[in-house]
Amino acid sequence: MDILSFALFGLLIVISPGADTILLFRNSARYGRRIGIITALGIGAGVGVHVTYSVIGISHLISQSVWLFSVIKYIGAGYLIYLGITSLFSSKRSLTTEKFVEDNNIHSNISVFRHFLQGFLCNTLNPKTMLFFLSIFTQIAAATTNNSLLMISYGGYLAILHALWFCLLACLVTSSAATLYLEKFGHRINQTCGVGLILFGTLLSATA
């Protein structure tokens, strides 16, 4: 693939729905735009981790180690299931009340760090994302002799693209038009997101 093909492929990967999308939607719907953007930045930072170990070759080592890959897979699956279960248990809480509480604690470093960490871990602990980066960077390395700079540049592009896309989603989810539906169907949204995260975690743990 040439550079343009890599760029378009990266865009398609970013906008395709997955666990990151469900988490972003849940946090934005429950806590508002700022928390959604913080979650999006965490997701982007998680991509940076994948880029880093792909460039230095650790991802290849992980993919060749069955037990290490299994540990990462089950940790990631367990984390998604945990997030899904917490969504289900809190699905009956008032969406408006949750936003009010979060707005009054919006400057809390703990609150900001918690949601940033959720986005970061959701992306970082996903072995499917790891294998995606391994395959992409393997192709880049094979396509050019000056692969280090190209891999870093493309990795930075993907990290920024993830952050921008999910920030845009956070803004769309918390727009004035969407807010009316969120306030009316907030508990159903929590339930749907919870089931989705549990499903992703279960499928992830069951795949080879």
Contacts of 11 (CB under 8 A, 6+ apart): 161
Q: Higher model confidence: residue 86 or residue 28?
A: 28
What is the pTM (predicted TM-score) of this model? 0.76
Structural domain contains residue 126: yes
Q: pLDDT of 141-178, one tens digit each?
A: 555 555 667 777 878 888 899 999 999 999 988 887 77
- Print the domain residue range for 147: 3-10+19-203
Helix residue ranges, H only, 144-175: 147-173
Model pLDDT for residues 59-81, shown as the tens digit of each residue: 666 667 777 777 877 887 888 78
Residue found by looking up tokens 């928390």 in the block: 35
pLDDT for position 195: 83
User: How far apart, in whole angstroms, are the C-alpha atoms of residue 190 and residue 170?
Assistant: 15
- Report d(CA 148, CA 155) in Å as an integer: 10
Alpha-carbon gap, residue 108 to 31, rounded angstroms: 14
Domain count, the chain: 1
Residue 92 lies in a domain: yes
> Which pLDDT belongs to residue 96?
46
Predicted pLDDT of residue 147: 64
**CA dist list (Å): 154 to 1, 77, 99:** 13, 27, 37
Please check whether residue 23 lies inside any domain of the structure: yes
* pLDDT (0 to 100) of residue 74: 83
3-state helix, strand, coil in the chain (%, to 5): 85, 0, 15
208 found inside a domain: no
Give yes or no for a contact between 50 and 59, defined as CB atoms under 8 angstroms apart. yes
Query: Do residues 192 and 30 touch, judged by C-beta distance below 8 A?
Result: no
Nearest to 86 by CA among 22, 42, 38, 36: 22
Q: Specify the 3-state DSSP secondary structure of 36.
A: helix
